[in-house]
Structures are given as C-alpha cells and as structure tokens.
Amino acid sequence: MSKANFKTLHLRGLCKRFGECTVLENAGFELHSGEVHALLGENGAGKSTLMNLLTGVYVPDQGEIVLDGQPCSIRKPADAMAHGIGMVHQHYRLVERFSVAENLVLAADRAPELQRLPVAAKALQETAEQLGLALDPYARVADLSVAERQRAEICKVLALGAQILILDEPTAVLTDTESESLLAAIQRMANAGKGVILITHKLREVVAHSDRVTILRQGRAVASNLATESLTQADIAQLMMGDVAVSQRQPSNLQTNGPDLLVATGLSASRNDGSTAISNIGIRLRRGEIVGVAGVGGHGQPQLCEALMGLLPIDSGSIQLDGFQISQCSVSQRRSYGLRYIPADRATNALALDLPVSDNLALTKVASGSKGRFWISRKGLFQDAQNTITEHRIAGASPQGLTRLLSGGNAQKLVLARELDNDCVVAITHSPTRGLDVKSCGAVHTALRELTSRGGAVLLISEDLEEIMTLSDRILVMNTGCITGELPGTASASEIGALMIGGH
Amino acid sequence: MAFQFALQRRANTSFLRSSLTFSGGLLLGLLLCVALLIQAGVPADMLFDDLVWQVFFQADGLAQTLTLSIPLILAGLSAALALRVKFWNIGIEGQLWLGAIAAMAVSIYGVGSDSYRWALMLVAAMAGGALWIAVPLWLKERFHASELVVTLLLSNVAFQLMLHLLFGAWRDPTQSFPISPAISEPERLLKLGFGNLHTGLFASIGMVFLVMWIMERSRFGFQSRILGSNRQVAEASGIAVGTTLVVMVLLSGAMAGLAGGLLVAGTEYRLTQHLGWNMTFSGIVIAFIARLRPFWVLPVAVVLAGVYNAGATLKVFYGLTEATVLLMQGIVLLSLLWCQFIAAFSIDRRQEVSV
C-alpha cells in the first residue's frame, strides 16, 4: 500500500532511448511534500516520457527514482501505485457506464477495504470535501460533464492512496472558472501534504500556482527546480524555447520586397468538433522570404497548415497563390500551382511507411499525372528514386527498401526531396526539424534557404523558437488561433515571448 | 537478467524465400491432414492417391479442380482489390448472387440476340456485383457506416432476393425444386471437352492479368497502394482519393458478380440457391495467402479448389463428416498462413538492459 508520509521524490539522470532516438537524456527534478511542481516543455520535449518512467509505463535505460532516500524500482504501473504515485491522464481512465464509486471499486484491486461500494463512495465523498470540490459518488460517469469527470478521476486516484499526483494538462479542457476552482483544489492538495506535478502549456498558471518549475527541451532539463517566485512568464517562455545569438542567424540575402507569392486574408476554420481552430488569420509571403510563425503548441498550428493546403475546409477568408485565387481549390490543384507541404508528423502525414522508398518519392508526381496519365513504369520509378537518393544523399535508402527502415533525418530528407522540387513555389512547413539531430537540422535549413534563393518562399510554422529565430526573415506570432503580432527577423526571444503569452 | 523476444519484420522477402515457404506450408498442412485422416480411419496407402493424385494429376479430377477454381479465382481477386484500399468486403457472396441474378435476368428477358447474349449476361453480372458493393461504399463515405457490417448484411438481403425470385416469378413450373428454368443452349459457355471445364476459365485467367495490370502497372494501382497504406498521406499529396476508392471497390464487386455470372452460364445453367456458398471467406483467405498480389491468386485458388475437391471425394468414399473435411481445409490454410508469417518476420532475442 501507499506510504503515508512521503517527504521527497528525486528523479535523477533519467535517460530513455527508442532505437536510435534519444527522447530523454539525463533529465530529472525533485518534488517535496506540499509542493506544486510545474513541468513544462513543448510537444516532443520529453514530458510524457518522463512521466511514463515515473508511472511504470516505460523502464528507464539509465538513472534512478528515489523516494524518501530509498531507490525504488518502478517496472510496471502497479508498482507506481504501490509507491503512492498516481496520474490523471488527459483521457480519463473511467468506465462510462459505471458510477464514480463503481469505478473506484474497479480500480481498487490493491485496497480490499475499498471494494465495498458504500466505503468507496464515502472515501470519494471525503476526498472531494477536503479538496472543496462537489462530487456525487453515485452519478453515472456518462452523465457527467468533462470537468466533473476530471474531479471524479482526481478523487479516485487520491482515494486509492496517491501521495504524489501527476496532472497532465488538466486545464486544457476546462473553462476559466472551472480552471480556477481546480487550481484552488490543487493548492489544497499541496497544503494537505501531497506532492503535485502539474504539466501545462499555460505559463500564467505556472507563475501563479506552482512553487517550482522544471523545463524540458529536446529531452534535456534546461532548468530544474527553479523557484517560480522570481520568474516572469517571459523568462519561462525564453527558457522553454531557447535563444539564438544574432550572429548565428541566417537572414536571406535577397531583397525581401519582391512580389507576393502567398496572401491569406481573414482565414478562419473549425476543428471537427466545431470549435474554432484559427480565426481571421492574415499572412503575406513575398518572393525569397522565410516567414516564421512562432507560438506555443496547441494554438491552431496544424489547422493553419491544413487550411492553407486545402485539407481542412475554411469557414471564411481567401488564399491567393502567385496571383491565383486558390481558396476553393482541391489539394491537387493547389499543388499544381506550386504549393507544397512538409507536415510536422512525417510518419502519419507525409510518408507511407510500409511502402518502398520509390513509392514515397513518386507519390505527388503520380497524383498529378506527370509520371504517366494511365500507366506507371515501375522501372522508371526505381531509376528516378535511385537518382534522387544519390543526389540528396539519403543514407540507408534503396528504391525497393521499406521507408520504415530510414532514420528520422533521412526520412525527412526524402520528404524534402519530394516536396521542394523544381516546381515548388511556396512550401508550408511545420516543425521541419522536430526530432532531428544537429546535422539533419542543418540539411533541412539549407534546403529551405535553397528554395528561397531560387525565388520561392517558405512559411515556417514551429513551436521551437530556436528554429524560427535561426531562419526567419520576418516573424509572426500565433496565439489561440490568431496572429497576435509581427516582428522583424532580428527580434529577440523576449520580444517574441511577450507576444506569445499576450492576450492570455 | 531477463530476455525478451521481439518479432522483427524482414526488410525484404526474396522470391525464393516466398516460394519455399509456400511449398513448405502446403507440405506441412498436407502432412497434418494425413495424420488426421489416418486417425479418422482412412487407409494410409490410399491417402496420397486421394489427396494429391486424384485432384491434380488425373484428368477427371484435374478438370473438376479447375472448374471449381473458376469462381475461387474471381473471389480471391475481389477480396484483394478491396483489401488493397482497406475496404473490408465481407459480402462477396452477396455480390456473387446479385451477379447471378443479373445474368439470369438477361437470359429470362431475352435481352439482345442469341448470338451474343452470353456476353451480355457476363457484363450484367459484373454490373450487378458492382451495384451491390456501391451501396456499402456510399454509406461508408457518406455516413462512416462500417463496410464490414453492411457488406455482410447485404449478403443476406441478396440471398433473400434470390429466394424470392426462385420461389416466385422465376420458378421453373416443370420442376419440384425451387430453381429457375435452364438457360438456352446458345447462352451457355462452351465446354472445353475436359470434364465440365468451360471457357469461363479463360475469363477468370484473363481477369487475373487485367487486375494484375491495374494493381501493379496503372496509376490507379499506385494510388490505391498509397491510399491503403496511409489515407492521410494520400490526401495530402493530392491523390484523387474518392475516384481511386470507387474504381477499386466497384471492380471488387464486379469480380464477385462475374463469378456468379460464370456459375450460371458455365456450370449450373440456371439460378439455384446453392450457388457460390463460402465464397466470401474462401476469397479473403486466397487474397491473404496471395498477399494481395493478383498473380499469386491464381495458384492459391487452384490449390484451394484441389483441397475442396479432395474433401468432396473423401466425404463420399470414406464417410467422413463435413466437420472433418472443414477441419482439413482449415489445417491447410493455417499452415500456409503460419509459414508465410515466419517468412515475413524473424524472431530476435534481445537482452533487456538492466536498470
């Protein structure tokens, strides 16, 4: 069962690799009883992996987890619960057809006393009262609102004896008033001696409601256990996104007052569930320019890409490409005018991993019919693929080889070789260097610069400020689906950071 | 210190490896069947004769095997076409019955002239099958209704429609069984003078090469490969997803419909309620063993036809139950699939890193 009085939890030097990809390197922090510890980082920075190590979903390759001076081995989720570590996931682990109390009974295989329904209900009731939350233990989960389900999940995990509670972006799904009451409850948990790890993207919450903060970037802890008292939101934003000295930047050599290649005005679009994803976005992209769109993740970036490409229908607004009105065009028509797309998630949106390299290199050309209107010569595809592989130095690739076997950097080279072809006019790129090593990043940057120097333009949407600042000639800042400001490419990280958190 | 075993997909499966595993799987399956049959009381010295010689190397048996393979080849193509675009066609029988009904209708209403009506019957059969699969395709794309359920249930509808015709308007008044009148002599496909084998075999083989061309050489085939592997990528690269899906799925229905048409025009000469049973699962199994490659559908369908043929003989001569025959067929198929799995994956042993 859980330890009654946890004092400190240390995570030390944790490393995790998947194949060749290092997702966590020497990361760690400490958590005291009575503390709210915020864990920050962009998508892919390693937050989820770190929490998965703590909750026994993964086993670390190196490093140790020390609870009250005792190294503890957490090899499966049940071990974590036995040490009093509980997690409230973004997707709640509740059976909808059961009542809240029944869900607790279901989860209580290590706590026999909670297996009686009245006891479980009473435990939930008491936990909820301590936290100042309203909860009906006998309500059916299916009838509860999102906020109520979250309360149910939190009370369930605490009733099971959790001393350390991990909350994964708990306010992302809540309204402002709901968030306030949840954050107050989190404070009460800490006052009662629990340790709370709060994962969030909202910097305001970090400053106002956490005691210390740990920031991950690219698998490393760039700041551990910083006291939040002395920090501003802008400080935190800067730590999260990194900074680049002006000398390292590579602004375009061309005059950037060329003709407009891509003009989007008043662009609005909704997600599948009807909520607004982007609203009234205006973008102007001139010949020879790289325009960065900076912003914290989850603020409509993928939807902006999809709306520009024609993958997401727009509610209003217009898009012009090289003088052509394309807002009503299909993806293939937009591509025929020279629009190209390098999405953030190669594996799901850019590459068919189970097919050979030659297929993936040829697919846009086959779609447009330029490899043959009716018949495709397989030999021709292999030959073209071989040429491209040689020309772009895609290591480990053969025309017949499976695309799945390529490393991240080489898979991205494949996407670049296909998308940044000679007919490319404007490339929409979303985090094109995510998950790549330094050398591959350099190759991506060179390819993008090469496109602008031959008269194209690049829209660089990224959650990595370092990437934006290194490449962009101008920087737009995106926040909750809107463009909140424009800065020159020489803007400092704190200037950009100030715009990113504004309006929150 | 713990060891973990991991399945690792091989980067490339060579032609030699595929051929060897196919033969190995067949051999393993047959050996297991031999054990099963000896256990069931079949004399051991007759087994090779019944299982292999009679169905593949003896004229009558081979003719019967090839005749049985005609609809199986088309069912295999039908499943392969649909699975290529990740469309689960569990209603091959339904499309086959609709094809048979359409072919029979052309004969009953005497469309066109005698000299080419057989061709009209086959075209109508393909159209019937395509029409029957168009419904689940539309429901899937429009309302996200699972094609798995809709195709399966529409088979029942097709069967009831067939019974309705056989017990009603199309019933042959001179027969006591609910069957339609026979089609006329010129409407029947020519016999090849080899058992009951008819020219439908050429139609089936022709379709293998046509589908092979479409799937492996045409733009549609390429696009369907991308679509089947990752629909989001297909959409983002500007592939005409809708058109590709419609072409491949309707072709799938047309192949199943043609199988029904060939059974009416080449084998049965009339519509009966015993037409084309088990074609759905046979078709899917054939497509899987052939790994969706149209050329391999041909040998796999012939082998499966041989197994069915041998099963029928064994039932008659040794009084084996239907269950034993089904078990036998299942063993052969599972051995083939299992060996293929081994060909495609290797088993790696890794030592877990100590923490």
On chain A, the residues whose CB falls within 8 A of the CB of B219 are 366, 369, 371-376
What's the ipTM? 0.81
Same domain as A482, residue A439: yes
The reply to whether A2 falls in a domain is no
- Residue B280's pLDDT is 93
Residue with tokens 């009966």: B272
Rounded Cα distance, B244 and B92, in Å? 20
Contact B270, B264 (CB under 8 A): yes
Rounded to 5 degrees, φ, ψ at A178 are -60, -40
Same domain as A355, residue A265: yes
Q: Which whole number is the average pLDDT over B24-47?
A: 84
Same domain as A311, residue A202: no
Residue A211's H or E segment, with its range, is: none
Residues 6+ apart with CB under 8 A from B5: B347, B348, B349, B350
Name the residue with higher pLDDT: B151 or B46: B151
- Residue A405's pLDDT is 81
- Domain B43-319 maps to which CATH number in 1.10.150, 1.10.8, 1.10.287, 1.10.3470? 1.10.3470
pTM of the model: 0.74
- Residue B211's pLDDT is 96
The distance of B331 to chain A (nearest Cα, Å) reads 30
| CA-to-CA dists, residue A481 to A383, A472, B217, angstroms | 44, 20, 44
Share of chain A above pLDDT 70, in %: 93
Residues of chain A with a CB closer than 8 angstroms to some CB in chain B = 59-62, 73, 75, 309, 311, 330-332, 334-335, 341, 343, 348-355, 359, 362-364, 366-369, 371-376, 378, 400-402, 405
The range of the structural domain enclosing residue A261 comes to 246-501
**CATH label of the domain that carries residue A343:** 3.40.50.300
pLDDT in tens, B143-174: 999 999 999 999 999 999 999 999 999 999 88
pLDDT at residue B220 is higher than 80: yes
Candidates B11, B221, B232; nearest CB to A402? B11
On chain A, the residues whose CB falls within 8 A of the CB of B235 are 311, 331
Same domain as A252, residue A225: no
Same domain as A462, residue A361: yes
Residue with tokens 């399966």: B152
A162 token code pair: 């959790």
Rounded Cα distance, A459 and A120, in Å? 54
Of A220, A241, A262, the residue that ends a domain is: A241
Give the chain B residue nearest A15 (alpha carbons).
Answer: B355
Same domain as A230, residue A199: yes
pLDDT grade for B1, boundaries at 50, 70 and 90? very low
Point out the least confidently predicted range of A331-335, B10-14, B168-172, B348-352: B348-352
Q: Which whole number is the average pLDDT over B89-109?
A: 96
The reply to whether A3 falls in a domain is no
Mutate to test the interface with B, among A14, A16, A79, A331 (most CBs of B within 10 A): A331
The DSSP output letter for B217 is: H
Same domain as A253, residue A219: no
| Under-70 pLDDT residues of chain A | 1-5, 19-20, 43-44, 241, 243-257, 437-438, 502-504
Same domain as A155, residue A13: yes
The reply to whether A329 falls in a domain is yes
Same domain as A297, residue A189: no
The reply to whether A468 falls in a domain is yes
pLDDT at residue B62 is higher than 80: yes
Q: Do B229 and A348 touch (CB under 8 A)?
A: no
Which sequence spans correspond to the domains of chain B? 1-42+320-355, 43-319
Report the 3 state secondary structure along A24-86: EEEEEEEEECCCEEEEECCCCCCHHHHHHHHCCCCCCCEEEEEECCEECCCCCHHHHHHCCEE
Residues 6+ apart with CB under 8 A from B182: B172, B269, B270
The reply to whether A492 falls in a domain is yes
Domains held by chain A: number? 2
Q: Work out the mean pLDDT of chain B and round it to a whole number.
A: 89
Rounded Cα distance, A205 and A174, in Å? 13
pLDDT in tens, B301-321: 998 899 888 888 888 888 888
The reply to whether A1 falls in a domain is no
Same domain as A300, residue A231: no
Which strand ranges, in their side-by-side order, compose the sheet holding A212-217? A85-88, A164-168, A195-199, A36-40, A212-217, A220-227
Mutate to test the interface with B, among A366, A378, A403, A415 (most CBs of B within 10 A): A366
pLDDT in tens, B278-293: 899 899 989 988 889 9
Same domain as A321, residue A425: yes
- Residue A170's pLDDT is 87
- Residue A503's pLDDT is 47
Mutate to test the interface with A, among B1, B212, B237 (most CBs of A within 10 A): B237
The reply to whether A497 falls in a domain is yes
Rounded Cα distance, A421 and A85, in Å? 51
Of A241, A264, A299, the residue that ends a domain is: A241
Q: Which whole number is the average pLDDT over B226-236?
A: 93
Residue B350's H or E segment, with its range, is: strand B345-351
pLDDT grade for B264, boundaries at 50, 70 and 90? very high
A321 token code pair: 């490409």
Residue B139: exposed, middle, or buried by beta-carbon count in 10 A (0-12, 13-18, 19+)?
middle
On chain B, the residues whose CB falls within 8 A of the CB of A362 are 222
Residue A291's H or E segment, with its range, is: strand A290-294
- Residue A252's pLDDT is 56
